[in-house]
Chains A and B, each alone.
Chain A
Amino acid sequence: MQRFHRICRQNEQNPFIVEPYSKRIMTYGDLQAWTGRVAGYLSRSGVQEGDKVMLVISNQLEYTLVHFALMELGAITVTIPSSLNREQLESIVSTIKPVAWITCSDHPYRSFSPEQWITISAEDFAYDDPSWSRKDEKYRQRLIRHNDIIAILYTSGTTGTPKGVVLSYGAVMANFLEYGQAIGLNSSTRIIQPLPVEHADGWCFSVLLPFLFGACVLLTPPFNARIAATFDRLLTEHQGSVLVAVPSMLRALLEMRHRFQLTDASNLSFVLCSSAKLFHQDRLQFQTLFNTCVLEFYGSTEALLIAYDKPNAAIREGSVGRLSPQVYLRSEDDRLFVHSPFLFKGYFQEPDKTAAVFDGIWYETGDIGYVDQDGYLYLQGRQQYTINKAGQKIDPSVIEQVCRQLPGVFDAVAISKLNENREEDIYIFLVGNHFAIENQSSINTALQERLTAACWPRGLQWVDYIPLTPMGKVDRQKLIDSLAVV
């Protein structure tokens, strides 16, 4: 943790975490002082080196503070999605066997091991020097080594049971140092971070990645209508210069444009966008409205960063960026495998699931795609969602993009389902206005004109909305399940 103290001292007066809506601020100097106190408090509460601790705090500065305190103790932070059902939660708890649960408010999971819950509020540790004495802050400070595990991030489990992705300090540091340098993070960068902290991208941009470069994080609650409606103030009043987002957030912000008063004071240098297909039209509209540049990055919790766009470098339409210079990628039947110093150590106590995707050297991403001669990576969908029509592989996003250009259609998702002959039929879920719904025949005609025959759907289904995961990704499994009962 020598690096931790050095960075804190170098940026002592600079804000590290700012909560724009509650007006709370934690400077780098605060972080250094409070981390020691929280670590001491947790140590006296029984947390020791190597212990696994459930961190169930949403987007609040305490999340970052406690995470650093646990690293200081050599304990392992375990984060879990907020949308687990009881069965999934019980499974995780019985596997992890946490020594403590840390929160800063009441929490729906609190019925689990209530005696193990520790409530932390930053205000309790933000004192000058009243009743607490230095001895209360004493604990055994730990030197973190390259292979030490610092976090286990549980995936959402939308396509199965949640898996605990084990991340080592060395992998995370190598990844963040490369990416932060590539996109030019520094102490004047102010990152607007509305992703849930329990998601890998939210975690990256709320703890170590901005910290390593002395940057400031404008940590908002998970993205909602209020944040969308007041986004211009995050740019003008709070001087946000970088936004971390998923494509559905960019679309929501475009819809809210009538509320924005963008002035010369807003200076959104770039947007870092990932996790789902970014449609070219959305990118262009967003870039024009905010006079900014949307940069894609691609990776996964298991592999961290794989490819990314850089500011002031050429962006190629349809690509998710250039491969990281530290990433080796090979393609087998368009399936992407990666090897890099950033890879996870496996799924926690799941050797079979680990072996299914990771042989110790190569990790299979589950995506299909290819790399062009200049190193730009192009994705053609998730392996599990690729439509196979009589041997022809079809990327659902090709169909979806055509649908979204039809008049009155707001959104579209294409999936496939096996028919009675064990062949895949395409179904398209559409969100649209009355005009589109009442003119379905013209929709069918337009699709037949603009899509190749292999892409023609067997069925169109109008829905009120496309179900999304808490991260804003399309919940395709829910749509597939809904077809089963149609």
Chain B
Amino acid sequence: MHVATNQAVLERLKIVTGKTDITLEHRLVEDLLIDSFSFIRIIVDLENHLDILFDDDDLVIESFPSIQDLSNYISKMVV
């Protein structure tokens, strides 16, 4: 399940960011230069396509330093 989530999150981020060479280790802010408005677009896309809902209090970019952190968070929801 975890592997599947990793794959799904990576796929969605590739589509939203338009980058094809991203990995789980990439950091959202430092590597992908995601700002607060781009972060909103990512959240909306993940919620709509993975049928999940982030907890309101977790909706700060600092909660997810890397794509792996984002995927780990989603894994807990889809288990």
Contact = CB atoms under 8 A, between A and B. Distances in A.
Interface of A: 223-226, 228-230, 248, 252, 255-256, 258-259, 410, 431-434, 437, 462-465, 467-468, 472
B79 interface: no
A225 B35 contact: no
A228 to B, nearest CB: 5
A464 B60 contact: no
21 contacts: A224-B40, A224-B59, A224-B60, A225-B39, A225-B40, A226-B56, A226-B59, A229-B43, A229-B59, A248-B37, A252-B40, A255-B44, A432-B18, A433-B15, A433-B18, A464-B17, A464-B19, A464-B38, A465-B35, A465-B37, A468-B35
B57 to A, nearest CB: 7
B32 interface: yes
A468 B37 CA distance: 8
A225 B15 contact: no
A256 B44 contact: yes
Interface string B34-50: 11111111011001100
Nearest to B34: A465
Contacts of A230: 56
Contact of A255 (B41, B57, B61): B41
A434 B43 CA distance: 18
A259 B46 CA distance: 13
Contacts of B41: 255, 410
A468 B61 CA distance: 16
Interface residues of B, number: 27
Nearest to A435: B15
Given A230-B56, A256-B44, 9 more contacts: A223-B36, A224-B40, A228-B59, A255-B44, A433-B16, A433-B18, A463-B18, A464-B34, A465-B17
Nearest to A437: B18
A434 B15 contact: yes
B4 to A, nearest CB: 21
B32 A464 contact: yes
Contacts, number: 67
A352 B17 CA distance: 43
A1 to B, nearest CB: 37
Interface of B: 14-19, 32-41, 43-44, 47-48, 53-54, 56-57, 59-61
A229 B19 contact: no
Given A225-B36, A226-B60, A472-B37, A462 B44 contact: no
Contacts of A225: 36, 39-40, 43, 59-61
Nearest to A431: B18
A428 to B, nearest CB: 15
Given A433-B15, A434-B15, A437-B18, A229 B54 contact: yes
A468 B36 CA distance: 9
B32 to A, nearest CB: 7
Given A229-B59, A468-B37, A434 B44 contact: no
A177 to B, nearest CB: 34
B20 to A, nearest CB: 9
A437 B59 CA distance: 29
Nearest to A469: B35
Contacts of B59: 224-226, 228-229
Most buried by A among B37, B39, B43: B37
A229 B56 contact: yes
B53 to A, nearest CB: 8
What 6 pairs between A and B have smallest CB-CB spacing?
Answer: A226-B59, A225-B59, A465-B38, A464-B17, A255-B44, A252-B40
B18 A252 contact: no
Contacts of B47: 258-259
B65 to A, nearest CB: 15
Contacts of A223: 36
B57 A226 contact: yes
A225 B41 CA distance: 9
Contacts of B34: 464-465
Contact of B36 (A224, A229, A258, A432): A224
Nearest to A226: B59
A464 B40 contact: no
Contacts of B53: 259
A485 to B, nearest CB: 15
A431 B37 CA distance: 13
B79 to A, nearest CB: 22
Contact of A256 (B19, B36, B40): B40
A464 B43 contact: no
A228 B36 CA distance: 11
A97 to B, nearest CB: 34
A431 B15 CA distance: 11
B76 to A, nearest CB: 18
Contacts of B15: 433-434
B74 to A, nearest CB: 15
A464 B36 CA distance: 13
A126 to B, nearest CB: 26
Contacts of B54: 229
